[in-house]
Structure formats: C-alpha cells, structure tokens
Structure 1
Amino acid sequence: MAEKAGTPFILQGWRTRELRFAEGTAQSRMSRWAPDRLVVDYTRTMLGALALVPAPGRIAMVGLGGGSQAKFLHRHLPAATLEAIEINPAVIALRRRFRIPDDDARFRVVEADAAEWLKTQPASIDLLLVDGYDTSGIPAALSTQRFYNDCRAALRPGGVAAFNLYDTAHAEHRHRLQVAFGAANVAVVEEARQSNRVAFAWVGPLAAADGAPALSRAGQRELREALVAVRAAVQGR
C-alpha cells in the first residue's frame, strides 16, 4: 500500500531503518545495530562545525527526522544542552523507533515551526544545525532571507550555523547566507559521494580551530575527516 505523500513512514532493512516521506528518498537512515552512529556522510560534515565552535553550551537543530545528529551529540557531547525543533508531529511520534532519547535535563524535542521559533531566541545559541526538509526539498519558510537573518540573530558571538543545502538552488541559499552573515563569514563543503553541499556561517571571530572539540574520544574519531574538511574550507574560502 502506497503511503500518502508527506506522511512519514519507515523502511525497514536488515542493517538499517530509514525515515521516508516518499518512495525512493530517505530523509534519515539509522544503523539498527549502532543507532548513535552517523550513517550518512553529510550528517558528519554538518557536525564538522565543532571544529569552529569546539565547546558549544547550547545546540539547536532545525528538523528532527530520525534524530541522527541529536543521538550522536547526546552521547558524545555531554556538556551541551540540545533542542530539536520539529514541525511535524507524525515525525516526533516515530522517535522511539529511531532510538531517540526521551526528553531530559539535557535534551528536548520542541514541536514548533522553526522559522517562528528562531525569532524568539535572540543571541542565545552556540551551534545551530539546519536540516529541515519536506517532500519538495527545503521548505519555503526555511529558504527566505528573513529566515537566514533570524538564524544569524539567534547565534551568540562566536556562534556557528551549519546548513544542509542538498541539491536545491544552493547558489541562491549561499547568496542569502552571505547577505545575512557577510561573505567572509560563509564557507561551503561539497560532499564527494552525494549531491549535498553543507554551508557554514558564523558570527564574529571564531574560536581557535586547531584544538580538539569537547567530544568523547569515540566521537572525535567518528568526526575526524569532517573536522579536517571544515577547517580546510574555512581557511581556504
């Protein structure tokens, strides 16, 4: 039986579990045997932002999906508080199927429109991860100049945002980021094995990018290549 367009469903495999909105495209993929591992390349690249903000106190994620980054950060970055902003209650309802932790003192899932929620968070976020998608790509509400301006306004000085641009009008999104943050404060990493581009933008001077992030040793090993790639992109922009 075909799923209704836009309704999240699970595709179960022997090794992986996928969250999908339509046939043929996975929104999130989880290893059934290692649910905290980052299976998809771009999710590691986005967390390469920790090379630029190595010890974030508050992390906000736009889009929950299967919770790949939330689970990784919850396990490997215990000093940070985490919030995942998800507009679709049907996605939130699947959180246990993807082993997403229950809300606690360090982590919570917020059912809200992230474009509106960000307007209420001025200068309060250290690391912002934007990975909100629907069946057509990046939603219109997460594509406007106002949205990118609000992302910048929500970051503290020295704060960093990472954006999964996938293959959707990436040049337009990059231009809007440059308008919001300044051209000198935007860098992009291309994904060699996917159609993704991950953009990074920041406010004010960055922390020293040569130190190790406040991750567990296992977390640092998993992100080693991503951290190197992000440092190189920022230095070579």
Structure 2
Amino acid sequence: MSDAAVPADLPFSDEPAGVRRPFIQNAGNRRTLHFTQQEIQSSMSLLNPDALEIEYTRMMMGFVLFKPEPAHILMVGLGGGSLPKFCHRYLAGADISVVEIDPAVIGLRDAFMIPPDGPRFRVIQADAAAHMRGLSDDADVIFLDGFEVGGIPDALCSADFYADCHRALRDDGILVINFHVNHPMHHEYLDRVRESFGSSMFEVVDDDMTNSIVFACKGNLLDDPAAAQLTRPASISKDAWRQLMPTLKVIGATLELR
C-alpha cells in the first residue's frame, strides 16, 4: 500500500460516509483502489494493466534474484491485484494462491482485470492468519501485503503469525513483507520476524521512505553474493526484467552493504 494521493473523479461507490468499503477512482488512464480518499491501496494503468505501477510492488519482486522459478506463490492481500497479475503473466511456471478476507475487495477483481480462477490461479476468501495456521511446507514464496484502514491487522504482524509463515514455507522459501517505515511498531515487527527467521533476512526502503520491504528466508539463499550482480535469470523475460531492473538496482546496492 502507498500513501500517495492522486487527482481523481468520483468513486464508483454509493456507500454512505463512515462505511469503510473499498472503492475505485479513475484519473486519465490510471485506476486506483482506495479504502479512504487519502490512501491508495493499488494502482493500475488501463493501457498496461499487468505493469507494476507503484515502486514497492516492484521491490517485492526482488525475490526473483534468489528464487526465479517458484512453483507456488502464496499472497496475503488481493488489493487491485498488481502482484498477482504480474506473477501470473511473467512467472508461467508458478501456481498462485491469493488469500483475501474482504469479499468487497474480491468483488472488484474484474475492474482491475485480475485473472479468473483457474488451474494455476485462485483467490481464496479467508482469514489469512487462520489459513496460514493450517499450512506446512506449502509455498516457495509468501507475500504479505494485507492492509486495512490504519495499517496491518494485528493478526498479520504477530510473532505467532510469522512462525506460521516460516512453517508454511518450503525449504529455501522466501517471505516478502510490505511494512510502513514510519509505523511506531516497525522495529518491533522486524524483531518478531527475526524470532522465526534469525539472521536470514534483510530490509530495503523505497526512495520516499514510506515502504519497507523485508525479505526473510527459510534457509540461506539470501546469503548468495551472486544476487547483487543483478544477472537476469533465464526464466525471467526481458520485458519483466526491464520493468524491474531500476528497482532491483536498489536491492543490489543493499545486498552489497550487508
């Protein structure tokens, strides 16, 4: 989620004031998802709907430097589907599951051109904390990008939840978390992740010091010095690499300083 604001027309919502339901706004060729007028949850170009419009989403894709061919990606938080769509298009060998608690968010999936459920893509309406609790050795990559008004739900940033994520990952699996840098509990959240993943983690902060992306591994893949060389894996198309490369350079610089 990003805190940036955009000019927009009237939302596609007739909910009364005070009801916190997701709504859509359009500005030119850009469509955004909101929970409040001030905050953008997701952004999509109507001309290129599979592109990653917001920097933090490109930063979360940094896992491909370590694990470019995941068999199963589990995502918490659907939003406008930016990351699910990008992975569905460019990681053709990946099976993608998205867990979203809010049926109103899922109800907007067609407006954001999110693929229909099929053999390698599905949206699951469920409480992510309860869903994660029942998994073991399930995913190669887990994305945590679940937000509500006010920030991350408590259940998705507890020490127990991060322990559940560790158990849900396969060996050498990678957890990727979107945090807000200025949240008063930010360092406490990092400590909770560290309880389960130890030192096999690192943090990258975006240019405007809003989003912190944390990578944590069930194994030692993050210690590979070759990742900082930013060599395109054969499984990643040139188009996807071109979109990600400017942000991956920031990750590479962070890795060199570790």
TM-score bin, normalised by smaller chain: over 0.9
Give, in whole Å, the separation in 2 of the partners of 1:98 and 1:73.
15
1:219 aligns with 2:219: no
Matches within 5 A, 1:132-143: 132-143=146-157
Q: Which residue of the partner structure matches residue 179 of structure 1?
A: 195
Q: Which residue of the partner structure matches residue 200 of structure 1?
A: 215
User: How many equivalent residue pairs?
Assistant: 236
Tell me the TM-score normalised to structure 2 length. Answer: 0.87
Secondary structure of residue in 2 paired with 1:96: coil
Identity over the aligned pairs, expressed in percent? 39
Matches within 5 A, 1:1-237: 3-166=17-180, 167-168=182-183, 169-182=185-198, 184-206=199-221, 209=227, 211-213=231-233, 214-237=235-258
Shift of 1:225: 2.6
Secondary structure of residue in 1 paired with 2:56: helix
Shift of 1:4: 3.7
Give, in whole Å, the separation in 2 of the partners of 1:59 and 1:109.
12
Shift of 1:205: 2.3
Shift of 1:212: 2.9
Shift of 1:71: 0.7
The higher-RCO structure (CA 8 Å, 6+ apart) is: 1
Secondary structure of residue in 2 paired with 1:157: strand
Give, in whole Å, the separation in 1 of the partners of 2:168 and 2:28.
41
8 Å contact kept, 2:200–2:220: no
| Structure ID, larger Rg | 2
Shift of 1:52: 1.6
Tell me the TM-score normalised to structure 1 length. Answer: 0.94
Unaligned runs of 5+ in 1: none
Give, in whole Å, the separation in 2 of the partners of 1:87 and 1:177.
22
Secondary structure of residue in 1 paired with 2:80: coil
Unaligned runs of 5+ in 2: 1-13
1:196 partner letter: N
* TM-align CA RMSD: 1.6
